[in-house]
Amino acid sequence: MANSQSGDSMTERIVRVLETFTADRTTQSATEIARRAELPSSTAHRIVGELIGQGILERDDEGRVRLGMRLWELALRGSSALRLRQAALPHMEQVQARIREHTQLAVLENEEALFLERLSDPTAGANITRIAGRLPLHASSSGLVLLAFADPDLRERVLAQPLRPVSAETVTDADALRALLASIRRRGHVVAPGSIESVSTGVAVPVRDHGEVVAALSVVLPRQAPTTEPIEALTSAAAAIEADLRRMH
């Protein structure tokens, strides 16, 4: 791919354009994309036009730009995330029917917890998680499980960085976090009250594929809710997901 005068490749520029879209920002003008991607306006307009031509982006009735259906189609082809979600969803539904709050599936992606699925009861409490949304690894029950079982080099890299608080109760001391991660590996689950929101408690367990932790399965409960039954439900569901993943190979 040809490089720009700034040295970034066309691939890098395309990724920067796509990354300007978020769960809260689903449509933009090409000018807004240029500013957020830190690209010259002419470059951004050209890239946007080409991506629209390929169906990766599309224009709405007001002429604003959004992600296209072809991007969704391509992302699902042969996706390991789709396979994982397909195996997990029936068991997530069983957890959700039993717990009736929020049930979530997350994977480790680029040193963050990326959420592939979320099921929520209409009467459930607070939860900021969204499908395709991300949370810091140190600041959510899913992220803590993923970090606990991650490659040691990645774990130490995260621990060496400033640990930004998401709430007043987010663990931001590296030594305390290291001890918490060791506890998660011993116990096989985490209970994280108030790490994201003071009114909620996150409970999460690892999901393995042939012994390797590939995801975290979690529930978000009201702060004072009992956690014994959710831990049991999550542990049973994770084992069932692992069995289905073995059969899918």
Task: Record the tokens describing residue 168, joined without a space.
Answer: 């007043």
Among 52-66, 70-84, 112-126, the range scoring the smallest mean pLDDT is 70-84
Q: CB of 164 within 8 A of CB of 135?
A: no
Local confidence band at 236 (pLDDT 50, 70, 90 cut-offs)? very high
Q: What is the mean pLDDT of the chain?
A: 92
Q: Which of 138, 133, 128, 137 is nearest to 117 (CA)?
A: 133
Question: In the predicted model, what is the mean pLDDT of residues 35-56?
Answer: 95
The H or E element that residue 221 is part of is: strand 212-222
pLDDT value for 226: 96
pLDDT of 246 strictly over 50: yes
Non-local CB neighbours of 177 within 8 Å, separated by 6+ positions:
138, 159, 163, 171
pLDDT greater at residue 83 or residue 5: 83
Non-local CB neighbours of 203 within 8 Å, separated by 6+ positions:
141, 189, 190, 191, 192, 218, 219, 220, 221, 227, 230, 231, 234
- The model's pTM is 0.80
**How big is the chain by its Cα radius of gyration, in Å?**
20
Among 24-28, 69-73, 97-101, 208-212, the range scoring the smallest mean pLDDT is 69-73
Please name every residue paired with 114 in a beta bridge, in sequence order, or none if there are none. 107, 134
Please name every residue paired with 66 in a beta bridge, in sequence order, or none if there are none. 58
Calculated CA dihedral for residues 37, 42, 48, 51, nearest 10 degrees? -120
At 142, phi and psi to the nearest 5? Answer: -60, -45
pLDDT tens, 179-234? 999 999 999 999 999 989 999 999 999 999 999 999 999 999 999 999 999 999 99
